[in-house]
Amino acid sequence: MAEKVKTIYGPCALVYCSTKTGTWRIVRPQIDGEKCVLCGICEKYCPTGVVNTIKMKTEDKKKAEGRVEIDMTYCKGCGICANVCPHDSITMIDEREA
Amino acid sequence: MIQIKIYGLGGQGVVTAAKVLCEAVAIHEDAHAQAIPAYGHERRGAPVYADAVISRDPIKMKGFVYAPDYVVLFDDSVIDKGIDVMAGTSEQTVFIVNTQKLKDKYPFKSNKIYRVDAQAVALKSLGRDIPNTAMLGALAGAGIVGIEAVKAAITSKFGDSAPKNVEAAEEARRLIRADEKAEPNKDIDTNTKNHAAFVK
Amino acid sequence: MKKVMLEGNFAAAEAMRLARIGVVSAYPITPQSPIAEVLSEYTGDGRLDAKYIRVESEHTAMSVAIGAQLTGVRTGTATSSVGLALMFEMLGVAAGLRLPIVMPVVNRALVSPWSLWCDHQDSMAARDTGWMQLYAEDCQDVLDLCLIAYRAAENGDVLVPTMVCMDGFFLSHMSQAVYVPSQQDVDDFLPPYQAKNLKLDIADPMFVNNLIPPTEFMEMRYQQHTGFSNALPVLNTAMKEFETQFGRSHSPIEPYCCDDAEAILISLGSMSGSVKEMVDQYRAQGKKVGNLKIVSFRPFPEEDLVAAIPRGARVGVLDRSMSMGAPAGPVCNDVRSAISNQGLNVRIQGFVVGLGGRDVRPVAITSAFDRLLAGQYDKDVQWLDMSDNAMTLRQYREAI
């Protein structure tokens, strides 16, 4: 297929390089599965919306089972999840050690 | 004239370190200094840099540093983040690196390198991984500026948290070493005006 | 007098504090924000006995400054870039009402493209609003020129508001040791402010800023023109008096190694320091070059400027802005007109450098000097230290 090169004058972006906000991170959330009760508060507060709480049905209704997934491609490491967690189950750890 | 480039990550106090270094030299050693921070799209964790120029004579140049005599790395991960820490350097350029150990990835292995684990010093003295005041002590250990001037500048800049930061600076000055076998830093006359770079 | 580390913004705020401004109305904008913040701090903790009036825009900031100054106090405001542009209407009002407001302007590029960084397009766009414009080379200059500006602007023969321009980031955020004079010394230099012309006084009412018919308009503009004619000698005197009081000399133009120079670069602001550094390096190689720094762009020190250029010297002007559609940047155009007005026939090479925060690097300065020394002249303005692909920065492929 034939193509021609078109030139644009003035400010605009044709390449998006800073949208993977995970590259900004210097600390990352680490979840203690023992303490986590899957309440989902971190998910609600996450400003980038990268936390996903997955609950599975269990026979014992008092004990929730499942996991919290965080999309590290976009998690900026802001630490809000660790701040709002009512069970102190999230610790921000140094990205270099992760 | 000594030209210094400091690379680090947003939140590590790179800009503050450049300012405190200049205050140490210009106010407490009565020489001349200017700190030129580069501002952009700031965010914690992004690579940042600040330039400092110190001199026995008044400094005319008002721009950034293009041929650094010293390159200071607050965090060697800037190398992985695509920052060319070799930009403008020569064989004579001295590198001062905050690291536990020298790594193979360093592109400046043939240059003179000072190494200090400023992260550990900062965590011990301040309880936080903000290595700027420890690195200022390291600059004194490398002979760029006098430790007394650094301590005075930290004291005037940091208020209540000054003692802890002074401790970090002193500790890093003690621990910095030029190579793995060298003894920890001996007392040397590091008043800026007596600095070798001025005398040559 | 004490020596302290100050960034340019803080040096400006110190000068305003020492001048005992009574009302502050500043709207924060990068890179001026620290001025607005520190003046707020000073008024809050009592270091400055002033009323801080919060405003919603720069247009209002200047409106408030005008109203306040009319009541007989010095007022403090400062801005940058698009903030200065939003103030534009009121700049003319302050000038026309002959209110000697002193305003630090932290130079930043105008939109668009968006930029946070330094060039002179903002203050150059405002050069015909009837304000004096002084350009600082370093942080000490910022403090000194502000104090000098109050003294000169408030002179009864001048009564012209003044912008003290400092390069965004290169000065506004650069730390340097600055000598801060004592309050007593500044009080001796700047007596309490008195409204010498228009004023708002309940006991003696006056209707200010009414509609003026064509029968009087030109005359009032001529009054402003006369204020500017008086401004240059008054500014010179104020600078001499400043030197007597504080021991630092300033001048509307500052030649550096110009006497025997074969090539001279004219510049404004912080880049002058970098040009001087390169002059030293050229001189060390035996090449006779010089720098002519314009401190006072308005009033334009035409005679002194032309007198400082030795016969036969090749001259170039480094403009940190461009007058689109004109032969060159605004400083170059004025230098050419000054040369011609003084009856000389010298070709002045126009250069554009350092737009939108680009550092005026040694490579830009050397390419300008080398062109002049080689006798190259181009009537078109030369854009220096620019990438080769300027016209093809953004391209995409489209199917046909």
Give tens-digit pLDDT for A39-81: 999 999 999 999 999 988 777 766 678 899 999 999 999 999 9
CB of A93 within 8 Å of a chain B CB? The answer is no
CB of C171 within 8 Å of a chain B CB? The answer is yes
Residues of chain C with C-beta less than 8 angstroms from the C-beta of B22 = 5, 175-176
Can you tell me the distance from the alpha carbon of C351 to that of C245, in angstroms, rounded to the nearest whole number?
Answer: 38
Alpha helices (H) along C265-329: 271-284, 302-307
Q: Does A61 or B134 have the greater pLDDT score?
A: B134
Residue A13 has pLDDT above 70, yes or no: yes
Give the model's pLDDT for residue C66.
98
User: Which residue of C394, C396, C398 is the best one to mutate when testing the A interface, meaning the one whose CB has the most A CBs within 10 A?
Assistant: C394
Distances (CA, A) of C280 to A21, C16, C305, C369: 47, 35, 21, 12
Cα diameter, chain C: 78
- For the segment C307-326, the average pLDDT, to the nearest whole number, is 97
Chain-chain contact of B45 with A24 (C-beta, under 8 angstroms): yes
Interface A:B, Cβ pairs < 8 A: 15
Task: Give the CATH architecture of domain A21-97.
Answer: 2-Layer Sandwich (3.30)
Give the model's pLDDT for residue B199.
37
Residue A98 has pLDDT above 70, yes or no: no
Which residue of chain B has the CA closest to C359? Answer: B63
Name the DSSP class of A76.
-
Q: Which chains touch B (3 or more CB pairs under 8 A)?
A: A, C
CA-closest candidate to residue C36, choices C45, C27, C46:
C27
Determine which helix (DSSP H) or strand (DSSP E) holds C238, and give its type and residue range: helix C214-246
Residue B63 has pLDDT above 80, yes or no: yes
Can you tell me the distance from the alpha carbon of C133 to that of C125, in angstroms, rounded to the nearest whole number?
Answer: 12
Chain mean pLDDT for chain C: 97
The partner residue sitting opposite B43, judged by closest CB among A24, A94, A95, is A24
Chain-chain contact of A94 with B9 (C-beta, under 8 angstroms): no
Give the model's pLDDT for residue A24.
79
Locate tokens 């060298």: which residue?
Answer: B182
CB of C373 within 8 Å of a chain B CB? The answer is no
Distances (CA, A) of A50 to A39, A47, A74: 16, 8, 7
Task: Report residue B198's pLDDT band, with 50, 70 and 90 as the boundaries.
Answer: very low
Can you tell me the distance from the alpha carbon of C247 to that of B141, in angstroms, rounded to the nearest whole number?
Answer: 38
Can you tell me the distance from the alpha carbon of C113 to that of C116, in angstroms, rounded to the nearest whole number?
Answer: 10
Could you tell me which residues come within 8 angstroms of residue C75 by beta carbon, excluding any fewer than 6 positions away?
C21, C22, C23, C24, C25, C64, C65, C68, C69, C101
Chain-chain contact of C394 with A4 (C-beta, under 8 angstroms): no
* Separation of CA C77 from chain center: 15
Tokens of C236: 């010179």
Task: Give the CATH architecture of domain B2-199.
Answer: 3-Layer(aba) Sandwich (3.40)
Give residue B167's identity as a one-letter amino acid code.
Answer: E
Residue window 49-78, chain A: list those with CB within 8 Å of chain C: none
Residue B180 has pLDDT above 60, yes or no: no
Give the model's pLDDT for residue C260.
97
Chain-chain contact of C112 with A10 (C-beta, under 8 angstroms): yes
What is the pairing mode between strands A3-8 and C394-399?
Answer: antiparallel
Chain-chain contact of A10 with C113 (C-beta, under 8 angstroms): yes
User: Which residue of B41, B44, B101 is the best one to mutate when testing the A interface, meaning the one whose CB has the most A CBs within 10 A?
Assistant: B44
Give the model's pLDDT for residue C36.
97
Residue C196 has pLDDT above 90, yes or no: no
User: Which residue of C175, C265, C385 is the best one to mutate when testing the B interface, meaning the one whose CB has the most B CBs within 10 A?
Assistant: C175
Which residue of chain B has the CA closest to C168? Answer: B39
Task: Report residue A26's pLDDT band, with 50, 70 and 90 as the boundaries.
Answer: confident
Residue B41 has pLDDT above 70, yes or no: no
Domain boundaries, chain B: 2-199
Residue B98 has pLDDT above 80, yes or no: yes
Interface B:C, Cβ pairs < 8 A: 68
The SS3 of residue C320 is coil
Chain-chain contact of B129 with A96 (C-beta, under 8 angstroms): no
Q: Which chains touch A (3 or more CB pairs under 8 A)?
A: B, C
Residue B184 has pLDDT above 60, yes or no: no
Can you tell me the distance from the alpha carbon of A31 to that of A70, in angstroms, rounded to the nearest whole number?
Answer: 10
Domains of chain C in sequence order: 2-246 (3.40.50.970), 253-383 (3.40.50.920)
Residue window 98-157, chain C: list those with CB within 8 Å of chain A: 112-114
User: Which residue of C114, C141, C176 is the best one to mutate when testing the B interface, meaning the one whose CB has the most B CBs within 10 A?
Assistant: C176
CA-closest candidate to residue B169, choices B128, B129, B115, B131:
B131
